[in-house]
Amino acid sequence: MGEAPEVIAVGEPLIALLAGGPAPLADVEAFSRHVAGAEANMAVGLARLGHRALYVGRVGDDGFGRAIVRRLRGEGVDVTGVVVDAGRRTGLMVRERRALGPSEVLYYRAGSAGSGLGPADIEAVSASFVGARWLQVTGITPALSDSAHEAVLRAIELARASDVSVCFDVNLRRRLWSDEEAAGRLHPIAVGADLVFGDADELAVVAGVAPTPDGLDAARSLRASGSGSVIIKRGAAGATLVGEGLPVEAPAVAVGRVVDTVGAGDAFCAGYLAALLDGLDPTAALRWGNGCAAAALSVEGDLIGLPTRVELERLTGDPGTDTIR
């Protein structure tokens, strides 16, 4: 038997088909295939940074599902919590690329294997909570189905019973539900979490307050309601930690050319959590998060740009790194 996981991630892994060139979806003829899903991205990000992650989710008994399991296993993620569902198909996301303006994203996940996640899937890995340090969940899974929502709640219950900290990344998906529906399910999760991630808009929805550009009002509202530290992801402006004392800010790592923004927020969370697992302070954790986000922005696909520890040290300029000449 191997070592217990440090982090348990619960969610829906997807296959993303990314348009081969910048054009309207109606005119795209070729796509590249990528493994995706916020929680899967974070699990891989943690594994590349040297930490043990267990992934809990469902895939279909199809080629896409097998590709997901193989990729996660190949990245060093523990996939013993992944169920292959013979009665459902693996979820699919299709993304176009635009040189100007927002890109269209299509989801084919209604009735997917991931939406079939339930409390029994969490119970099957309950022993793994003993000795784990963090449970990682997002606001996506509770939107998929009632059973998936119940699975997240059961995972949080087991985490609390095992003295495992809870990390919650809002990841609001308005294609899945309305802001009102999201707030109803996500607010209780956020105010019970030890660590909450989100951009200013997402945090405002979950907190039930009017949005502000800096996100501070929403973060403070969540803190007053019971949330632990709140991290405001601010894109090119960096990130802000709202916890005990004054807010802590860290600038973004400059990116010469942004290739693909999808997955950068997940990469940030992986970097931040990895720093905490290493015992680093919040300022260093913000720096690691920003470095991982920058690496993800520089390439296509959700997983390809996630950095190793050496690559992250080079990006953040931490002492002791080699100079690339």
pLDDT-based confidence at residue 318 (cuts at 50, 70, 90): low
**pLDDT for residue 323:** 37
Lowest mean pLDDT among 115-119, 199-203, 228-232, 320-324: 320-324
List strands edge to edge, sheet with 14-22: 31-36, 14-22, 92-97, 105-108
Q: How would you class 279 by CB atoms within 10 Å of its CB: exposed for 0-12, middle for 13-18, buried for 19 or more?
A: exposed
Q: What is the DSSP string of 224-239?
A: HHT--EEEEE-GGG-E
Q: Is the pLDDT of residue 107 over 60?
A: yes
Q: Is the pLDDT of residue 325 over 70?
A: no
Strand-pairing partners, residue 58, are 83
Q: Say whether 283 sits in a helix, a strand or coil.
A: helix
Instruction: Retrieve residue 134's tokens.
Output: 């963090």
**pLDDT for residue 320:** 43
Highest averaged pLDDT of the listed ranges 150-159, 170-179, 238-247: 150-159
* Residue appearing with tokens 């994203």: 105
User: Which of 255, 263, 285 shows the shortest CA–CA distance to 49?
Assistant: 285
Contact 263, 297 (CB under 8 A): no
Torsion angle, alpha carbons of 89, 266, 202, 169, to 10: 80
Nearby residues of 224 by Cβ (< 8 Å), 6 or more positions away: none
Per-residue pLDDT, averaged over 149-166, amounts to 98
- The pTM of this model reads 0.93
Residue 108 CA to residue 264 CA, distance in Å, equals: 22
Strand-pairing partners, residue 53, are 7
Nearby residues of 79 by Cβ (< 8 Å), 6 or more positions away: 55, 69, 72, 73
Secondary structure letter of residue 322 according to DSSP: P
pLDDT-based confidence at residue 319 (cuts at 50, 70, 90): low
* Residue appearing with tokens 């109803």: 184
Per-residue pLDDT, averaged over 121-135, amounts to 97
- Among 266, 281, 302, 322, the one annotated catalytic: 266
Residue 55 CA to residue 53 CA, distance in Å, equals: 6
Catalytic site includes residue 146? no
Residue 103 CA to residue 121 CA, distance in Å, equals: 34
Residue 119 CA to residue 152 CA, distance in Å, equals: 8
